[in-house]
């Protein structure tokens, strides 16, 4: 199980959820109403699932594929903590992740 802490773009709100091994980060986020569109449903054609893995948590994940890196080049607000949530699969050795929603995502949940 992985405990995921979603942090809003402005840092004012947090949501902590548990996810299972083999869950995809995008699916977990959407199941908990996080504002990630995931328009292409994982085909690496949209970058609307872009997130920031903060607090050093990027190092818990395997390196992104070349295709993912290429798509991140098009993601607004991408930085060295960026990943595509559709490409992050949770594994048994990932016990927690801090996931920040980028400022470029429009959050209509308020
Ligand atoms: Fe489109 Fe991830 S859902 S790139």
pLDDT tens for 76-89 read: 899 999 999 999 99
What is the C-alpha to C-alpha distance for residues 38 and 30, in angstroms, rounded to an integer? 9
Question: What's 67's domain CATH number?
Answer: 3.10.20.30
Q: What is the DSSP letter of 67?
A: H
38-88 pLDDT tens trace? 999 999 999 999 999 999 999 999 999 999 999 999 898 999 999 999 999
Note the maximum CA span of the chain. Answer: 36
- Is 105 part of a structural domain of the chain? no
Compute the average pLDDT of residues 9-16. 96
- Is 61 part of a structural domain of the chain? yes
Q: What is the DSSP letter of 32?
A: T
Tell how many helices (H) and how many strands (E) occur in the chain: 2, 5
Q: Which ligand 1 atom sits nearest the alpha carbon of residue 71?
A: 4
Q: Which ligand 1 atom sits nearest the alpha carbon of residue 50?
A: 2
The model's pTM is: 0.92
Domain that holds residue 83: 2-100
- Closest residue to atom 4 of ligand 1, CA basis: 44
Q: Which ligand 1 atom sits nearest the alpha carbon of residue 38?
A: 3
- Edge-to-edge strands of the sheet including 82-84? 14-19, 2-7, 96-100, 50-53, 82-84
What is the C-alpha to C-alpha distance for residues 8 and 34, in angstroms, rounded to an integer? 9
State the pLDDT at residue 109. 52
> Which of 47, 51, 99, 104 for mutating ligand 1's site (highest number of atoms within 8 Å of CB)?
47
Q: What's the total number of domains in the chain? A: 1
């Amino acid at each position: 199980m992985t405990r995921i802490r979603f942090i809003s773009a402005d840092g004012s709100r947090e949501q902590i959820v548990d996810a299972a091994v083999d869950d995809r980060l995008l699916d977990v986020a959407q199941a908990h109403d996080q504002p990630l569109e995931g328009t292409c449903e994982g085909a690496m054609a949209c970058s609307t699932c872009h997130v920031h893995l903060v607090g050093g948590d990027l190092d818990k994940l395997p390196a992104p594929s070349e295709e993912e890196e290429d798509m991140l080049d098009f993601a607004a607000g991408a930085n060295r903590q960026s990943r595509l949530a559709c490409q992050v699969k949770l594994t048994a050795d990932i016990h927690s992740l801090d996931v920040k929603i980028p400022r470029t995502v429009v959050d209509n949940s308020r």
